[in-house]
Amino acid sequence: MQTSSSEPVLVLKDIRKSFGAVTAIENFSLDIRPGEIVALVGDNGAGKSTLIKIISGVYAPSSGSITIEGETVSMASASMARAHGIEVVYQDLALADQQPVYMNMFLGREPVNRFGLLDRRTMIAETEKLVKELDVRIPSAHATIRDLSGGQRQGVAIARATRWASKLILLDEPTAALGVAETAKVEAIVQSLKSRNIGVLIISHSLDQVFKLSDRICVLRRGKQIGLRNTAETNKNEIVSMITGLN
Amino acid sequence: MSQPKQAATPLSTPMERPSLLKRINLQQYVVYLGFLAIFLFFAIVLRDSGFLTVRNLSNIVLQTAPATIMAIGLVFVLSAGEIDLSIGSIVAVSALAAAVTINAYGMVAGIAVGLGAGLAIGLVNGVLVAYVRLPSFLVTLATMGLFAGVARSLTDLRSIPVTDSTFTGFFGSGALLGIPSLVWWTVIAILIGHIVYRETRFGAHVLATGDNNRAASVSGISVPRIRLAVMMLSGGLAALAGLLYAGRLQAAKYTLGETDLMTVIAAVIVGGTLLNGGKGSVVGALVGSLMMGMLNNGLILMGLSVSDQMIVRGLIILAAVAVSLREKAR
Amino acid sequence: MPRLLGLSALAAACLIMTSVFAADGATVGPHGEKPTPAASITLTDAEIAQIKDGKHSAALVWHEMSEYTAAVDRGAKDEFAALGIEVVAQTDAGFDAARQQADVETVLAKKPTIILSLPVDPATAAAVYDSARKADVKLAFVDNSPAGYEHGKDYVTIVSDDLFQMGSKAADAMAAALGKKGKLGYIFHDADFYVTNQRDQAFKKTIEQDYPDMSIVAEAGMADPARAEEIAQGLLTQNPDLDGIYVTWAEPALSLLSSLKAAGNTKTKIVTLDLNEPAALDMVKGGNFAAIVADEAYNIGRTAARAAAASLIGKEAAPFLVVNSLAVTKDSVLDGWEASLNKDAPESIVEALK
């Protein structure tokens, strides 16, 4: 566990979400501290995506509270979540393929100069600084997304989230579509986020990855929170049996 | 921009910055090369037929001015991943509405009504596309027919003369500082169009919307607003083209603009704008439009029969479009 | 039909004139001109030689290519060739006045001495031909001339059909087919179109004046050619015993033909205007079509070209020249095709006649 002195960036308390008669999530509680990576695991349909959507403001919970740095919030849209410093890296990236890296980095939040024109200089400089810090290897900030490899694209997507997230980054299967080498690269980037003092919630199917990256593991099964373990104090067998419900 | 230097790690191969040759994307310059090639061809073949006279070359610019203005609108629409087939009908409706109003209430009212009509049709298209979520191809296919009908019924097929000489001078036959007003309109529209497209957040959001509307949406861009805006922009520019036609012809008629749609689409595509969004060029559209005009002009001056003109023009456009679109299929 | 669409553009210009036509027993030019036979324009060998020496050139600026325009175009080209005048450009405005304006400007780069043209929109054509007028090019028009242009000063002449004669010949052909007696149906063009109105009214007038034993008992106006079939159907339902039906032009007449065929009617005769292959084929095969009245489109082109050339050597043409028309029947179809369009009748018709 992290030092108790740092206040959690995100506290979820008794979150419940139902769609009509179907309950997708019940009694879910979790807190994430700055610099901490929490993994969310569970089988398909366990409710991971629903949970991500609740945290990113796409769905409102049916009951329960969301607290960000001590302040209880209700988020009606994705842009409100963004305003609270929460960024999402989607499984399918959400990058504009034919635009350059730097435009993607600032998509929807482009800085302008005093004439109201795009401030490309700032965008490019910041992009180059950030990709360098995160060691995302792209040819240049001018490169078109289409010309990048899957790993490079994921790197750009994470860099973008890093640029804007002040509290929390949600990573939804960040390496699902990547090869071995690229996965390792992206994992290195995720690891490096710890030093930025923001919380990371990662969804992954790969238990190897979960054990490599996370500080704590939260297991979901059929919408229920089965348990929360410190990664250092558990093992794969325990997690697998929690996911499947078999001993 | 300098590439961040870093040591290679076994995990990933560092990428070199592409060579200069590769970075100068040929596709991007096809329209300019094509324009130059066609120009040189006509200049040689028609050297004794008046092609190179200042008069003839300026005719090409003047004749293509309305199509160029429409093309600017279409660059925005296509870049946003939509299409506007109704621009020809908007030209006719706006020109007629302006002409009737000018004759009754004067020039200023006429301009306002003409442009207003274009914006209003753009609004109708835009709302149906952006908020009712109908495909723009079908929406504007329908409004194209609808407003062609409106143009016909507006004045019962009659032509409306425009005698206001201030108007015809301002929009058609006049000149300022020795430069024809149509050239001014073209230059100003291209300049503003280019800056808005390339240098503003709106332009960036249009491109993002056409490129990946989900990415645009999760990035906080209001995709419906962008869609509405491009349809209205297209309507407004088509209306301006209608005013230019009316000014030049000193009359408005329901047939104005009817034959322009295909020319404008061809000009925009040849100019490097993708048919399905995310990439385009306003300056390319200008060159594409001039290329279409030059093609019409040169083929007539070559003394070809009308059918031969159509065949050759079709083949050249096909070749140009093939070259400008080929690369994106990779 | 394409022809009529083109001329529909004249409607606006001719609203005022329509009443004039109706009152008169002869074709009147678009600006009230008296018609002069096309044959009045002649050139002597010496004059032809003089024209040839001038090394002139001509441009053909059409409103829209169609069978009619193509025939006029052929006539003009043949005449120009005979007079040693080079045709340097040919354009098609696709009914777009703005494009016609551009076409005129474009062909001027070749410095033609003559432009032959059919204005898309006479009411507003002044601006279209302005550049040519300023360049002192001899303008000769087909069917109509720009409003405000002055004959002799701004243009050479207008060459057109003798519209009244066409309608009148249709009446004569109908009378011939029915033995000068019988009950007639009359499907006219219910729109303010200069060409069709004159022709329709001439038919009606001729029947009323010249054939006392024939009477028009049923009239139907057709505003939209697309609805021709419904209108024909309605006329036949109410009047199943008509001896003959006049239809304003050939394509709606084909709709009538299909209605007659559907009703098993082989007796009612059809007379219409403008040559058309399916109609002519029915006529040749002894069907319902009795006669088709055609204009000498080819001759319009020849006449316009000759008049324009004559003006180059100072010979003035009358303001409104009209060519003849002819009623084509089964027996005269081959010659008629040749005379009207200056080309052989279609294969299908030649075959059917064998």
Higher pLDDT, A49 or B76: B76
| Interchain contact, C89 vs B307, CB within 8 Å | no
CA distance B72 to B194: 9
Please give the pLDDT value at position B1: 39
pLDDT, tens digit, 9 for 90 and up, residues A152-208: 888 888 888 888 888 888 888 888 777 787 888 888 888 888 888 888 999 888 888
Nearest-Cα residue of chain A relative to residue B2: A140
Residues B151-164: what's their mean pLDDT? 81
Please give the pLDDT value at position B225: 95
CA distance B60 to B62: 6
Distance from CA of A68 to the nearest CA of B (A): 20
Please give the pLDDT value at position C6: 43
The minimal CB distance from B12 to the residues A93, A140, A151 is found for A151
For B75, half-sphere exposure in the C-beta direction (CA atoms, 13 angstrom radius) is: 34
Instruction: Give C226's contacts in chain B (Cβ within 8 Å).
Output: none
Please give the pLDDT value at position C270: 94
CA distance B206 to B223: 8
Asked if A84 and A10 touch (Cβ cutoff 8 Å), the reply is no
CA distance C262 to B300: 48
For an interface test with C, which of B152, B154, B255, B308 has the most C Cβ atoms less than 10 Å from its Cβ?
A: B255
Asked if A87 and A172 touch (Cβ cutoff 8 Å), the reply is no
pLDDT, tens digit, 9 for 90 and up, residues C232-258: 888 888 888 899 999 998 888 988 998
| Interchain contact, A184 vs B11, CB within 8 Å | yes
Give the alpha-carbon dihedral of B111, B117, B119, B121, to 10 degrees: -160
Coil, helix or strand at residue A66? strand
| Interchain contact, C89 vs B66, CB within 8 Å | no
Please give the pLDDT value at position C20: 36
Residues C296-309: what's their mean pLDDT? 93
Domains of chain C: 2-161+297-323 (3.40.50.2300), 163-296+328-353 (3.40.50.2300)
Lowest mean pLDDT across B312-316, C58-62, C94-98, C176-180: C94-98
Instruction: Give B158's contacts in chain C (Cβ within 8 Å).
Output: 11-12, 15, 123
Nearest-Cα residue of chain B relative to residue C127: B249
pLDDT, tens digit, 9 for 90 and up, residues A60-92: 888 888 888 777 877 777 777 788 888 888 877
Residues C215-244: what's their mean pLDDT? 86
Residue A24, φ and ψ in degrees, nearest 5: -90, -35
Domain B27-323 class, CATH top level: mainly alpha
Higher pLDDT, B177 or C23: B177
Instruction: Give A88's contacts in chain B (Cβ within 8 Å).
Output: 218
CA distance C352 to C348: 6
| Interchain contact, A137 vs B6, CB within 8 Å | yes
Please give the pLDDT value at position C15: 37
Distance from CA of A247 to the nearest CA of B (A): 37
Mean of the per-residue pLDDT values for chain A?
A: 84
Please give the pLDDT value at position C1: 41
Sheet of C244-247: strands edge to edge?
C214-222, C182-189, C244-247, C269-273, C289-295, C325-328
For chains A and B, count residue pairs whose Cβ atoms are closer than 8 Å: 99
Nearest-Cα residue of chain C relative to residue B250: C127
Asked if C174 and C246 touch (Cβ cutoff 8 Å), the reply is yes
Q: Chain B window 224-283: which residues touch A at a Cβ cutoff of 8 Å?
A: 274, 278-279
Written as one letter, the residue type at C39 is: A
Instruction: Give B253's contacts in chain C (Cβ within 8 Å).
Output: 97, 121, 124
CA distance C345 to C352: 11
Domains of chain A: 10-94+165-244 (3.40.50.300)
CA distance B167 to B151: 21
The minimal CB distance from B248 to the residues C96, C101, C109 is found for C101
Please give the pLDDT value at position B327: 56
Chains C and A touch (3+ CB pairs under 8 A): no
Q: Beta strand A37-42 with A22-32: parallel, antiparallel or unpaired?
A: unpaired
| Interchain contact, B251 vs C121, CB within 8 Å | yes
**B286 band by pLDDT with thresholds 50, 70 and 90:** very high
Residues A221-237: what's their mean pLDDT? 84
Please give the pLDDT value at position C30: 78
Residues B119-123: what's their mean pLDDT? 96
pLDDT, tens digit, 9 for 90 and up, residues C139-191: 999 988 888 898 989 999 999 888 889 999 999 999 999 999 899 999 998 87
pLDDT, tens digit, 9 for 90 and up, residues B38-92: 999 999 988 888 888 888 898 899 899 999 999 999 999 999 999 999 999 999 9
Output the CA torsion sign for B250, B256, B260, B264. positive
> What is the crossing angle of helices B136-154 and B107-130, to 10°?
150
Instruction: Give A86's contacts in chain B (Cβ within 8 Å).
Output: none
CA distance C42 to A137: 86
Number of H helices, E strands in chain A: 8, 10
CA distance C301 to C159: 8
Angle (CA) B284 B285 B288, round 5°: 85
Coil, helix or strand at residue C101? helix
Residue A230, φ and ψ in degrees, nearest 5: -75, 130
| Interchain contact, B204 vs A118, CB within 8 Å | yes
Residue B175 pLDDT greater than 90, yes or no:
no
Distance from CA of B84 to the nearest CA of A (A): 22
Residues B263-283: what's their mean pLDDT? 90
For an interface test with C, which of B300, B307, B310 has the most C Cβ atoms less than 10 Å from its Cβ?
A: B300
pLDDT, tens digit, 9 for 90 and up, residues B203-227: 999 999 999 988 888 888 899 999 9
For an interface test with A, which of B2, B6, B12 has the most A Cβ atoms less than 10 Å from its Cβ?
A: B12
Instruction: Give C127's contacts in chain B (Cβ within 8 Å).
Output: 173, 248-251
Mean of the per-residue pLDDT values for chain B?
A: 86
Ordered by start, the domain boundaries in chain B are 27-323
The minimal CB distance from B255 to the residues C11, C97, C109 is found for C97
Distance from CA of B269 to the nearest CA of C (A): 22
| Interchain contact, B12 vs A95, CB within 8 Å | no
CA distance B211 to B80: 7
Asked if B274 and B78 touch (Cβ cutoff 8 Å), the reply is yes
Instruction: Give A99's contacts in chain B (Cβ within 8 Å).
Output: 204, 207-208, 211, 278
Distance from CA of B274 to the nearest CA of C (A): 28
- What chains are in contact with C, requiring at least 3 Cβ pairs below 8 Å? B
- Residue A83 at interface with chain B, using a CB cutoff of 8 Å: no
**B25 band by pLDDT with thresholds 50, 70 and 90:** low
Q: Which helix (H) or strand (E) holds B243?
A: helix B223-249
Lowest mean pLDDT across B93-102, C108-117, C190-199, C329-338: C190-199
pLDDT, tens digit, 9 for 90 and up, residues C321-337: 999 888 999 889 999 88
Please give the pLDDT value at position B178: 81
Name every residue whose Cβ is closer than 8 Å to that of residue A129 and which is 6 or more positions away in sequence: none
Higher pLDDT, B187 or C23: B187
| Interchain contact, B17 vs A96, CB within 8 Å | no
Distance from CA of C111 to the nearest CA of B (A): 8
Structure tokens that stand for C322 in this block: 């009209």
Please give the pLDDT value at position B136: 92
The minimal CB distance from B216 to the residues A96, A110, A135 is found for A96
- Residue B16 at interface with chain A, using a CB cutoff of 8 Å: yes
Percent of all residues in chain B with a pLDDT value above 90, rounded to a whole number: 49
Instruction: Give A137's contacts in chain B (Cβ within 8 Å).
Output: 6, 12, 14-15
Lowest mean pLDDT across A76-85, A207-216, C64-73: A76-85
Nearest-Cα residue of chain B relative to residue C63: B306
Of the candidates B28, B34, B171, the one whose C-alpha atom is nearest the C-alpha of residue B95 is: B171
